[in-house]
Amino acid sequence: MSKLRTTISAQSRFLSTYDGAENLCLEEIYTENVLEIRTEVGLAGPPQKSPVTLGLEDLFSTHGHLNEDADAVLVVGEAGSGKSTLLQRMHLLWAAGRDFQEFLFVFPFSCRQLQCVVKPLSVQMLLFEHCCWPDLGQQDVFQFLLDHPNRVLLTFDGFDEFRFRFSDRERHCSPTDPTSVQNLLFNLLQGNLLKNARKLLTSRPDAVSAFLRKYLRLELHLKGFSEEGIELYLRKRHREPGVADRLIRLLKGTSALHGLCHLPVVSWMVSKCHQELLLHGGGSPKTTTDLYLLILQHFLLHASSADLVPHGLGSGLLRGRLPTLLRLGWLAVWGLGKCCYVFSAKQLQAAHIDREDISLGFLVHAKSVVPGGAATLEFLHITFQCFFAALYLVLSADLSPSLLRQLFNCHRPRGSLLARLLPPMCVPRSEGQEGSTAALLWEAEPHNLRITAAFLAGLLSREHGGLLAEGQVSEKALLQLQACARKCLSHSLHEHFHSIPQAVPGEAKSMHAMPGFMWLIRSLYEMQEERLARQAVRGLKVGHLKLTFCGVGPAECAALAFVLRHLRWPVALQLDHNSVGDLGVEQLLPCLDVCKALYLRDNNISDRGVCKLVEHALQSEQLQKLALFNNKLTDGCAHPMARLLACKGNFLALRLGNNHITAAGAQVLAEGLRANASLQFLGLWGNKVGDEGAQALAEALGDHQSLRWLSLVGNNIGSVGAQALALMLEKNVALEELCLEENHLQDEGVCSLAKGLERNSSLKVLKLSNNCVTYLGAEALLQALERNDTILEVWLRGNTFSPEEIERLSQRDTRLLL
């Protein structure tokens, strides 16, 4: 135990994931990411709350379990979202005795290294030979682990880089018998081996299958830095006076770059290149490709002699290092094709990588838990490997138009999401020789191929044409490749839209895009050509574009706005359950003019984002519906929302449920409602408006002529609020549905509402479930129903009725739903 703690402590103390040139003390630099429990949608029951946000110490929380009998906890996040660093921090806290002390043993593994193991392994061999070898009593130690599995934690970083797909077909239950490394890992995750030991794995979302989810106890989403997290990280990185302040001001004035920084790997790159960014002023990167070219320049300049340092990549710097970049690029392509992310000395030698190539800093020593293990190298990050692969493709003579089409091929049997998106014009698999670029690209993992394709699109943009010419790419070949890329991207977007079934007559066409669709949009954005974006969406008519659970962050929002603003017909854009945040809202503003509805449920949006949104919405003629429930809104959003209601004459629906709006916010919203004559749907469920808020809203809605649906579910409303709502019902002639479940109305409040119903002629549905109503309140409602022929349903489920009372009430009026 002491040896294990010492080994893990030594390995976790310094953060070198993104940089081999310097070691950063993890304790000084670590910044919390947004970590949320994955929520199940589509389940029956009360309105869902926002996803639970956790701290690192809550990784093994008792909340939100998917399967109580499972052992595995999964942390998913996009490439660069900080998954490896989160694990490293967890290891350090355990080794230092500061947290996770319920585990006596923690065994960390890297999936990219495990997949290189060829010989069969048993559980004992995995733990001792590939993590930490007990110097004495190996058998006794192993028996203790078997006897006390609940005190053991195994972590597996980078499950998406494990080239074997998860399967539960081959069962293996013996902890001492060897089996293949993939079978061993899969049976550990299922609980067939070391049952009740915790297994924590990280992965990108694309690699998580429905089969794997059956064996998950808990699934968590790592969503990257919040806006405050970006600022905190930069202040930790730059403690020199004024540097962090200048860098933060630069980011806040450059929304595209600021949006990219929600990924920690990008924040590190911005920090690394802070001198170049501050010197360039207005020339900040817009796209991911721009940023990676900047970091390439930074490393090349760092490796150049001080008196020969040129200005920018286009001043001979690239040409001078072209052989090195091609060698690194070929290694990247070969690695992607072979699903190899750590390289042995033999593999480096085969790629002709020499010490000078390594000294540039793009290859760093891979961490190995086993002391004395063979030294291996890896790229700074998987995104760097994809970038170098794309760079090789455009700088080498290997990239022909046919190979470019193969990269975007849409009919690959392995089921690449990009493959399914792109058109039949893309040629089928070319019969390249084994080990050729074409053959390697065919075998690459889809999620890595998407990143590579987006970089490739960026490198082929007009903006970087001069750079490629510097790399000795002929003008004729470059123009040919650019034209092919444009044609492929534009045609593929049309094919994706046209593959959707036609709309029902009289209804708008609806499209639910898959996560891979976003990479197509990102590729269009990376090219930064307005004409291409306009051509790609020309003639497309879709009424509803749904992008839920698609990993949409601020960078994706910028890409969406860049493309969708060229649509000729208005669209309802649904981005529920993503990571849009305030930064993403700002990125979406350019396409607001084509949005007739915007749905942003579960997106970590605060009052700051809403203020920016409303400011632009007031100038948008098309926008009529806004859904912002399950976010982080407070009374601070009420003033801009009231202004929206008062000033926008065609606004139809506002949903602000499950936020943090109190009576004060409701009173401000009520002022906006007084001046409004168009709103039809108002949702405020799951807030805290209380009696005072309900009174203010009721007074504003008494004479409202258009509102048809009002939800005040779960707002701590009592009898006083109910009395005000009853008076509103006596006056209002438009409201058709009133939802008041999960409050504290009791009999007194229900009796008041019953009096209001007697004089109401518009309400069709009244929902009063879970309000502590007894037979007395129900009797008052029955008397009101005798005088009201309009009402169709009164919901009374979850109240305090005996079975006999339920039977008796049901027989008296079937409109009571008990």
704 domain residue, yes or no: yes
Is the sign of the CA dihedral 572, 700, 636, 720 positive or negative?
Answer: negative
Same domain, 657 and 760: yes
Tokens in use for 453? Answer: 């394709």
486 close to 529: Cβ distance less than 8 angstroms: yes
Would you state the pLDDT for residue 204? Answer: 93
Same domain, 165 and 144: yes
Same domain, 267 and 359: no
User: What letter represents residue 328's amino acid?
Assistant: L
592 domain residue, yes or no: no
Coil, strand or helix at 140:
helix
What 8-state DSSP symbol labels residue 193? S
Return the ∠ at Cα 31 (arms to 29 and 33), rounded to 5°: 155
For 109-140, how does the pLDDT look when each residue is reduced to its tens digit (9 = 90+)?
999 999 989 999 999 999 999 999 999 899 99
Measured CA to CA, the distance from residue 44 to residue 425 in angstroms comes to 44
175 domain residue, yes or no: yes
602 domain residue, yes or no: no
Same domain, 645 and 747: yes
Measured CA to CA, the distance from residue 462 to residue 528 in angstroms comes to 8
Would you state the pLDDT for residue 400? Answer: 75
Would you state the pLDDT for residue 734? Answer: 96
State residue 296 phi and psi, 5-degree precision.
-60, -45
| Tally of domains within the chain | 4
Return the ∠ at Cα 352 (arms to 348 and 357), rounded to 5°: 80
Q: HEC states along 385-403?
A: HHHHHHHHHHHCCCCCHHH
CA atoms within 13 A on the CB side of 283: 11
279 domain residue, yes or no: yes
Measured CA to CA, the distance from residue 324 to residue 666 in angstroms comes to 63
Q: Of 191, 206, 224, which residue constitutes the final position of a domain?
A: 224
Would you state the pLDDT for residue 280? Answer: 67
For residue 290, which of 319, 315, 312, 308 has the smallest C-alpha distance?
A: 312
For residue 494, which of 447, 540, 425, 457 has the smallest C-alpha distance?
A: 540
User: What letter represents residue 327's amino acid?
Assistant: R
User: What letter represents residue 263's amino acid?
Assistant: L
How many CB atoms within 10 Å of residue 108?
A: 24
For 489-511, how does the pLDDT look when each residue is reduced to its tens digit (9 = 90+)?
888 887 777 776 666 676 676 77
Would you state the pLDDT for residue 427? Answer: 37
Structural domain of residue 87, as residue ranges? 1-40+49-224
How many CB atoms within 10 Å of residue 581?
A: 29
519 close to 511: Cβ distance less than 8 angstroms: no
550 domain residue, yes or no: no
Measured CA to CA, the distance from residue 715 to residue 771 in angstroms comes to 11
379 membership: H or E segment, kind and range: strand 377-379
Same domain, 272 and 343: no
Measured CA to CA, the distance from residue 24 to residue 176 in angstroms comes to 40
- Say which CATH number the domain at 191 has: 3.40.50.300
271 close to 238: Cβ distance less than 8 angstroms: yes
Same domain, 196 and 169: yes
617 domain residue, yes or no: no
- In order, the DSSP letters of 516-560 are HHHHHHHHHHHHT-HHHHHHHTTT---SEEE-TTS---HHHHHHH
Would you state the pLDDT for residue 402? Answer: 76
222 close to 203: Cβ distance less than 8 angstroms: no
Low-confidence ranges of the chain (pLDDT < 50): 17, 42-47, 306-310, 410-431
Same domain, 113 and 191: yes
345 domain residue, yes or no: yes
Measured CA to CA, the distance from residue 3 to residue 36 in angstroms comes to 33
Same domain, 205 and 126: yes
Same domain, 786 and 646: yes
Same domain, 279 and 292: no
Q: Of 189, 206, 224, which residue constitutes the final position of a domain?
A: 224
Same domain, 200 and 117: yes
State residue 72 phi and psi, 5-degree precision.
-90, 135
State residue 774 phi and psi, 5-degree precision.
-110, -170
Tokens in use for 528? Answer: 């930064």
Q: Of 203, 224, 245, which residue constitutes the final position of a domain?
A: 224
Would you state the pLDDT for residue 434? Answer: 61
How many CB atoms within 10 Å of residue 5?
A: 18
Same domain, 87 and 187: yes
